[in-house]
Chains A and B, each alone.
Chain A
Amino acid sequence: MPFRQVRACFGVMFTVLTLLAASSVSAAEGEHDLVDRLSNRIDASLCDAGDGESLRAQSVAATSGQRSSVVAAIFLDCDAEERCRLKLDVRQPGAGPRLFLVDAGAVFRGPGDADFVPVPNQRFVLEHQQNTLEIDALPLRSGRPKPPKNSPLKVAASNSAGLLTVLRTVQRIETEDAQRLRRYVKEAGGAFTVDTFVDNEDVRAARWMLWTKGHDGQPQARLPLEVVRFALYAVTSEYTINEVADWFRTFRQMDMNPAIAAAGDAARRVEFVLERAGLNYRIFSPNHADYHFNRGVTAYQNSDLDGATKAFTAAIAKNPNLVPAHYNLGITLYRKGKYADAESALQIATGLDDAGAEVFYNRGAVLFRQGDKPSAARMFRRAIELNARDPEAGVWLSKADPEGKTAVKTKMPTKKKLR
């Protein structure tokens, strides 16, 4: 190919790349020129420095074309079920219209550490230069005192990967997933219902959503607010199904049994969101081993050894391969003085694939106590194989087997004489 043609090809290539680069500078990927996201449109006057741990400084809205800015935020109220409302003053340079999207990331801070998280995916059309919006919000943590009505709010940015992940997952479920789930939804008498004989994960999710007609006439999906709430509290307040049941008793004045039933129903939906978010949803309800395992740890820390034994046993029943459950059961039984049972639990643990050095060490400790020093030595030796820097295993190996009788003898290869 002549040099002139080669030069022309490269010229075209670089021009195309330049145009692509230019377009990415003017609008970040996924951003629409007519859509403003709450999390990056906060005026400097509202930005809070955060506490440096859970909340960091909110970045100031950069001036950018016709984009709007939130210039004031006020706490309005919370109802009896902690559904809260905030009022925002939003200003834009032009006359609009622009779409204002409530997304994830901003945390509104009131006096007395009252923090609020806006419910994601709320949309407003800004038609004037000055706009007043009332947005739905949830307390960042349940049960905290609320500020007085009309308290001014500042805005910080969440520093919690878990919180951001949950809220962005809610956004995705209500937008991207909903586009896929629409196929199962039919309109009848002005209402939308899931109308299908199919039973799969998508259909179950579609049945949990609240369907309304969007501005384009298509079904639009929202997750029930209590699902968003409990997924949020799972991350911010360590909620499990137990705390959800307490919430129903406190905020909906339910009796114990109806509250437990409501919590069980909510748990399925909350676990759906947590699983989609890539979090360990198995700690949330008693359907899973991890939940019982965590209950056992709490019981042990409260010196409730019978409760811990029961919980770790329940965890093992749900997942017999959960090494930490066998391990912790062994420790609990040891503390109860049941050394033979402790050794049995730790024996099972050492037989599982994920058993680490500490499992072998503890089994060695129990065997040593029982007087079986050769077996203890073999366990300490295995612990050292798994962790050469184990601080105690070497010490106790030398005490259990001072003459090295349990060491595995490897035959040195004999040298062949060359003829």
Chain B
Amino acid sequence: MNMVKSLVFVFLASGCGGQRLAELKPIEVEVEVQPGPAATPEELARTVPPLRGLARRLPLVPIELVAPEAPADPEPGFKDP
């Protein structure tokens, strides 16, 4: 019975603690508005193929970035009284 309790404890404990990555809300990608110069009349009339839009700005933060775990606590420099 004690062995069974221990097993259950181990399985429960393995799921606890630490930051759960699922808590972070995924960063939504905004659809970039690209005003820029308008299409030519030939593109609008479809006598020539319409040009595809500009490649977007390169982001500082990768879309799939997940924040790292917090670093370990420092030693307090004093003992538990």
Contact = CB atoms under 8 A, between A and B. Distances in A.
A161 B62 CA distance: 9
Interface string B1-39: 001001101101110111000001101000000111100
A149 interface: no
Contact of B66 (A20, A32, A161, A328): A161
9 contacts: A25-B17, A32-B72, A34-B78, A35-B76, A125-B76, A215-B77, A235-B60, A305-B37, A365-B50
Contacts of A168: 67-71
Contacts of A39: 70
Contacts of B48: 365, 368-369
A17 interface: yes
B9 A300 contact: no
B50 A14 contact: no
Contact of A34 (B50, B57, B80): B80
B9 A21 contact: yes
Nearest to B23: A56
A10 B55 contact: no
A211 interface: no
Given A274-B60, A297-B54, A32 B36 contact: no
A32 B9 CA distance: 23
A254 interface: no
Contacts of B12: 21
A5 interface: no
Contact of A103 (B27, B60, B70): B70
Interface residues of A, number: 85
B73 A280 contact: no
A20 B57 CA distance: 48
B25 to A, nearest CB: 5
A22 B12 CA distance: 10
A95 to B, nearest CB: 8
Contacts of A374: none
B45 interface: no
Interface in A288-307: 290, 293-294, 297-298, 300-301, 303, 305
Interface of A, helix, strand, loop or mixed by DSSP: helix
Given A235-B61, A279-B61, A328-B54, A164 B67 contact: yes
Interface stretch (A76-84, A128-136, A191-199, A356-364): A356-364
A285 to B, nearest CB: 12
Interface of A: 10-11, 14-15, 17-18, 20-22, 24-25, 28-35, 37, 39, 53, 56, 95-99, 101, 103-105, 123, 125, 159-162, 164-165, 168-169, 171-172, 175-176, 215-216, 234-235, 238, 274, 278-284, 290, 293-294, 297-298, 300-301, 303, 305, 324, 327-328, 331, 334-335, 358, 361-362, 364-366, 368-369, 376, 392, 396
A365 B46 CA distance: 11
B73 A32 contact: yes
A21 B6 CA distance: 9
Contacts of A376: 49
A22 B37 CA distance: 64
B70 A104 contact: yes
B73 A31 contact: yes
Nearest to A175: B71
A301 B36 contact: yes
Contact of B6 (A18, A32, A35): A18
A280 B62 contact: yes
A97 B54 contact: no
Contact of B71 (A53, A165, A176, A331): A176
A279 B76 contact: no
A97 B78 CA distance: 8
A142 to B, nearest CB: 16
Nearest to A99: B76
B34 A301 contact: yes
A234 B60 contact: yes
A284 to B, nearest CB: 8
